[in-house]
Structure 1
Amino acid sequence: MTYKHILVPVDESPISYAAVEQALSLAQELKSTVTVMSVISVDPFVGVDFYKVAPAITDYFMQAEKNAQDRLAEIKLSFDRDGITVNTRVVRGVVPSEGIIQVADEVGADLIIMGSHGRTGFKKLMLGSVAQNVLTQSPVPVLIVKV
């Protein structure tokens, strides 16, 4: 099977960069288009007195947006350097797994390559797993990269 459009969700973790490397290699082989994306997650301050922390919330989201844009621009250069067509996207205000599946649908991705931290047991139960959620909910194949 050949994959024409690969989606690569990234965050600031080293495992994301391992997924980027895998996507870069596969995209070169298959002459695929790649979309690299980041999700700025739902409000981490839910339940906090809004009027006391409004400036902190604004600063948090502005910094998160800047960090995501900077990260995507850096990654885009790797694909550009190798002549691979690449697009970037930032999705805001959604649960990461939902944002990933939404973008996969919007761009017509036929493969998602993403990293997994490999949490198990109690950590997985408490923290959830974005990779696990995408794997079980995605209508397209998902390649999980672990280090």
Structure 2
Amino acid sequence: MSQYKQILVPVDESPISYSAVEHALALAKSQDAHVTIVSVVAVDPFVGVDFYAIAPAITEYFMQAEKSAQLRLEDIKQSFIRDGIEVDTRLVHGVSPTEGILQVADELNVDLIIMGSHGHTGLKKAMLGSVAQNILTQCPIPVLIVKE
């Protein structure tokens, strides 16, 4: 098995993200790896909507999304600190989740990405897209997918 020294763990509010975190905790401990937890506050979900009519709602949405992401990152970070694992966090905005994850992976020169996948298939996957699938197809480094 390869020695992983830099592991990236993208998280969102889903329970499957926390399953990926548990896998990352165990692997990082066994590999004496450094972990970076990343959360992406996605690009505007209201594309195509009259901006001026909903500007206050957009502002509130992004403020709440960022606050929630920061709290989640801090909570997860404490789990790694308790286990004596070197950990950093990153909050990325203004890009899609796929772009944000790939940017951070490239910047940090990570050896492995560990992330959750909801396992959507068919029409649901086509409509929602799949960040995990995008990462798998676009990322040149190993990706460990944790499924529900």
TM value normalised by structure 2 = 0.98
Structure 2 counterpart of 1:96: 97
Spell out the pairing of 1:1-147 with structure 2 (5 A cutoff). 1-147=2-148
Cα separation, 2, equivalents of 1:51 and 1:146: 40
Cα separation, 2, equivalents of 1:101 and 1:35: 13
**Stretches of structure 1 lacking an aligned partner (at least 5 in a row):** none
- 3-state SS, counterpart of residue 94 of structure 1: coil
The alpha carbon displacement at 1:43 in A equals 0.2
- Figure out how many residues of one structure are paired with residues of the other and give that number: 147
Q: Residue by residue, what CA displacement relative to the aligned partner does 1:58-108 show, whole Å, maximum 9, x if unpaired?
A: 111010000000000000000000110000001101111111011001111
Cα separation, 2, equivalents of 1:62 and 1:120: 32
Cα separation, 2, equivalents of 1:110 and 1:118: 24
Cα separation, 2, equivalents of 1:101 and 1:47: 26
Cα separation, 1, equivalents of 2:93 and 2:47: 15
The alpha carbon displacement at 1:38 in A equals 0.3
Cα separation, 2, equivalents of 1:121 and 1:48: 28
Q: Residue by residue, what CA displacement relative to the aligned partner does 1:3-46 show, whole Å, maximum 9, x if unpaired?
A: 00000000000000000000000000000000001000010111
Cα separation, 1, equivalents of 2:109 and 2:123: 35
